[in-house]
Amino acid sequence: MNTLFIKFKSAVSGIALFSLGCAMAGMGLVVVALLALFALVSVGAALLASPFIAMAQSTADAEEDTRDDAQVKDDLSDSAATV
């Protein structure tokens, strides 16, 4: 009778340990999946925002180019006036 209880406790202990291991592995996989989902959302947001960022940069570059041309014309007119 004593041996039967020892075997029963051992079996229950093994089942509990196996269940705990499965739960911990599942939680680890959930964390990895959550991180992958966050990375996917970040990449998607970057892809959606990239045309607007490119448009804003090209507008800023165009404004800088016009200011540079105006400054060059002013410099040329100043140098022509002094000659």
- Could you tell me the two tokens for 72? 């060059």
Instruction: Report whether pLDDT(28) > 60.
Output: yes
Buried-exposed string 60-69: b where 16+ CB fall within 10 A, e elsewhere: eeeeeeeeee
pLDDT for 62? 65
The pTM assigned to this predicted structure is 0.54
pLDDT for 57? 80
CA distance to 17, 41, 50, 78, per residue, from 29 (Å): 18, 18, 31, 70
Instruction: Report whether pLDDT(82) > 90.
Output: no
Can you tell me the distance from the alpha carbon of 54 to that of 44, in angstroms, rounded to the nearest whole number? 16
